[in-house]
Amino acid sequence: MLRLTNLANKYQRRTLRVLYGNTQAYPYDAQLDSAFDRTQGALAGANAITGAKAAILPGLVATKKNAETVTVAGAWASSRRDFGLFANYVGGDLSDIPTDFDRVGVWRGVGSVYEILAPAFDDTSLATDATNEAGSAATEVYLNASAKGQLVAGTPGANVINNTARLVTRLSANAVVVELLV
């Protein structure tokens, strides 16, 4: 349930929707890293996400730290292993989670398919990549977390162990459909 602090956010759409997940997807109950600053988090400084109204948006990439602790993927990059996609708004003007509660939902499941809305993904070069995809393994578009935790096209960096998602279709600059690979 959204905990709105501003009536103007009444019609805010969730930036992540499960499309195909009846048998593939499952929400995982995880603990948000205590070092994560939910008042700024993914919105701070150079990592600010334009248009974001929360420190964590549904659809941002969650990275597993130790035990069941997760954080935004870009916020921690030591041999990062992406764990799934955040299911909740955390902090900011929109929040599903009370400030004194540290449990968050993370969508997981290889083969599950999601629609992700901007600004939870970075559209840079996705239009070109989606156009060049020819339905073969050589031209598939893989998505990984950016420094902001958004899904972005490209190969994983040196600190990333796995691809996070595969682009199914780019609907527009504001929406993509992805297949989760974690």
pLDDT grade for 159, boundaries at 50, 70 and 90: low
Q: Mean of the pLDDT values across residues 141-163?
A: 78
- pTM: predicted TM-score of the whole model, two decimal places: 0.86
The pLDDT score that the predictor gives to residue 1 is 55
Average pLDDT in the chain: 82
The pLDDT score that the predictor gives to residue 168 is 92
Q: In this structure, are residues 144 and 180 in contact, taking their beta carbons and an 8 Å threshold? A: no
Find, among 49, 64, 79, 54, the residue nearest to 149 by Cα. 49
Cβ-proximal residues to 68 (8 Å cutoff; 6+ apart), any chain: 29, 30, 31
The residue among 14 and 151 whose pLDDT is bigger is: 151
The pLDDT score that the predictor gives to residue 84 is 95
- Integer distance in angstroms from the first to the last C-alpha of the chain? 26
pLDDT grade for 160, boundaries at 50, 70 and 90: low
> Is the predicted pLDDT of residue 41 greater than 60, yes or no?
no
Distance CA 63, CA 99 (A): 21
pLDDT over 90, % of the chain: 34
Cβ-proximal residues to 179 (8 Å cutoff; 6+ apart), any chain: 111, 112, 113, 165, 166, 168
> Is the predicted pLDDT of residue 8 greater than 70, yes or no?
no
Strand duo 26-32 + 69-72: pairing:
parallel
Q: In this structure, are residues 148 and 118 in contact, taking their beta carbons and an 8 Å threshold? A: no
Ranges 12-21, 56-65, 135-144: which has the least confidence: 135-144
Ranges 6-10, 22-26, 94-98, 124-128: which has the least confidence: 6-10
Give alpha helix (H) positions in the chain. 126-132
Q: Mean of the pLDDT values across residues 158-175?
A: 84
Distance CA 155, CA 1 (A): 35
The pLDDT score that the predictor gives to residue 165 is 93
Instruction: Sketch the domain layout of the chain as residue ranges.
Output: 7-180
